[in-house]
Copies of this chain bind each other. A is one copy, B any other.
Amino acid sequence: MAIRRRKFWGWGYEDQGLTAAEVRELAERMAARFKLGTLRIASPPTIDEITLRPSRVSPPSDLESLCTADPHERAGHSYGKSFRDVIRAFRREFPNPPDVVAFPTDESDLVRVLEWCDRERLVAIPYGGGSTVTAGIEPPPDGDYPGVVSIDLTRLDHVLEVDKQSRAARIQAGVMGPSLEDQLRPHRVTLRHFPQSFEFSTLGGWIATRSGGHYATLYTHIDDFVESMRVVTPTGIIESRRLPGSGAGPSPDRMFIGSEGILGIITEAWMRLQDRPTFRAGASVLFKDFMAGAKAVRAIGQAGLYPANCRLLDAGEAANAGANSAGESVLVIAFESGDHPVEDAMKRALECCTDHGGHVPGGVGGAEATHEGAAGAWRTAFLRGPFVRDALVAIGILGETFETAITWDRFPDFHAQVMARVGDAITRICGQGSLTCRFTHVYPDGAAPYYSVLAPARPGSELEQWDEIKKVAMATLIDLGGTITHHHSVGRDHRPGYDRQRPDGFASALRAAKRALDPNGILNPGVLIDP
């Protein structure tokens, strides 16, 4: 049986991605858009083009069968999947790979691997799907470490137990989205957590990075779906109780949720599940003005209606998505339930929209409009996004996204300043480019705006240009009171912004907690905090 291998340099399996014809078509479209000459299409690297530093360490004999120094694996575990990561791969630059990749098959394997790392003071990096866009799984660039072990959790990939009565399941942390849903489907339940990385990210990764999921309103972060967790640390295993709710001291789970591998390695979690939806209603609403759309979204968010989808696209995003070419903003709104009809909620939400000048050209649709129709098309395009981004790298177009959250009172000014400051930076750094915005998640007290940058890069300077734009974006979010990330994580890339956002006292407490659990500081050093 041929093993289907992941690309070591970009998104997905080796047999996936845009076809050569699709890449050419994209290159022509981008050339026309930015009035450029013919774009050169760079070839992705092959593993024989990559020279890796020899491994500095070898596993002890009892761990040999779990470990590999295979170049494909070492290169593949060197980077995440940000623009910067893929550019470096296209440059054939892998100066700092892990020395060993370990594939524990169960928790006791993992304990032994971590004991080895702790004993030898090797850096231990928990690795799920490797979908990080913030360098969260990258070996530390400096520091006095004898070696680095990337601990790949993807063999811990089973749904171990399903409790239909409580609608919860005990799930191993290394399972990726599709397999997780496949294993739940026979039980007629779903986790219904669909980050853009869904196909190549893991439950443990979602929990460690506080990923944002399917639901636009109400519970959306993975945080709220965690019932209990099991975490392996260098000083022992920590397991919280399975509880629907508790008021017993600070929540232990909340300390590990978002800890990005610096406190321990999540091996399994009891997760709260959903019934599969059977009732649906959806519509697209047009607004002349993005801010009018935002007001409608605020009204919906504060009405206690809880749409599953409430995605407001500005005119640029709407045009990019093929949703509107008339310069209007588009709100894609949908309700779903596994229990009861949702038409009344939809109707009330549309009233909120018309109150703020929205109009509904296509009317309200049921299952067809939202599942196989517009929403289905969106989802396909959404999950295809990372493949397109890799193709942009190949043709020299800089693609970057940054996302945040902000309260409603500050949103109009915040958004205007982000557009101005980051927009100016794009023009200054790349000569031209586009900056667009959509809402990914909506709260009663604010929204999570998500910004996309597209700009022609100067060949050879892509990294520097990306880095400059990223710096301006980070500084802008933090200066204006936003969060450095709503659901992309902090990793290494967002550290400068996070360091300004995170209260100093909390940093001391977190550092102290890390020292208690990981006294030798081997777990993902440099992510979130310095040792």
A476 beta carbon closer than 8 Å to chain B? no
A180 to B487: give the CA distance in the assembly, Å: 33
A32 beta carbon closer than 8 Å to chain B? no
Q: Are A446 and B487 in contact (CB under 8 A)?
A: no
Q: Are B510 and A250 in contact (CB under 8 A)?
A: yes
A76 beta carbon closer than 8 Å to chain B? no
Q: Are A247 and B243 in contact (CB under 8 A)?
A: no
**Of residues A220, A275, A513, which shows the largest number of chain B Cβ atoms within 10 Å of its Cβ?**
A513
Checking B245, B249, B447 against A443 with a beta-carbon cut-off of 8 angstroms, the contacting residue is B245
| Those of A401-426 within 8 Å (CB) of chain B | 405-409
Q: How many residues of A contact B (CB 8 A)?
A: 97
Q: Cβ of A236: which chain B residues have Cβ within 8 Å of it?
A: 504-505
Q: Are A512 and B502 in contact (CB under 8 A)?
A: no
CB nearest neighbor in B for A255: B250
Q: Are B448 and A245 in contact (CB under 8 A)?
A: yes
Q: Are B240 and A221 in contact (CB under 8 A)?
A: no
Q: Cβ of A508: which chain B residues have Cβ within 8 Å of it?
A: 235, 516-517
CB-CB under 8 A for A166 and B509, given A255-B255, A303-B340: no
A259 beta carbon closer than 8 Å to chain B? yes
Q: Are B498 and A165 in contact (CB under 8 A)?
A: no
Q: Are B241 and A483 in contact (CB under 8 A)?
A: yes
**Of residues A223, A305, A446, A509, which shows the largest number of chain B Cβ atoms within 10 Å of its Cβ?**
A509
Binds B, one of A12-20, A42-50, A204-212, A462-470: A204-212
A306 to B304: give the CA distance in the assembly, Å: 10
CB-CB under 8 A for A444 and B405, given A344-B344, A503-B240, A506-B255: no
A311 beta carbon closer than 8 Å to chain B? no
A231 to B504: give the CA distance in the assembly, Å: 12
A252 beta carbon closer than 8 Å to chain B? yes
Q: Are B509 and A255 in contact (CB under 8 A)?
A: yes
A-B residue pairs, 6 tightest by C-beta: A244-B446, A244-B443, A210-B247, A238-B505, A254-B254, A509-B513
Name 14 interchain pairs, CB-CB below 8 A, sorted by A.
Answer: A236-B505, A240-B506, A241-B483, A243-B406, A243-B446, A248-B490, A249-B258, A254-B255, A255-B506, A263-B509, A303-B337, A339-B348, A505-B517, A512-B516
Add 8 more A-B contacts to A247-B487, A248-B484, A249-B259 (CB < 8 A): A237-B505, A238-B505, A245-B405, A249-B490, A305-B340, A508-B516, A509-B513, A512-B512
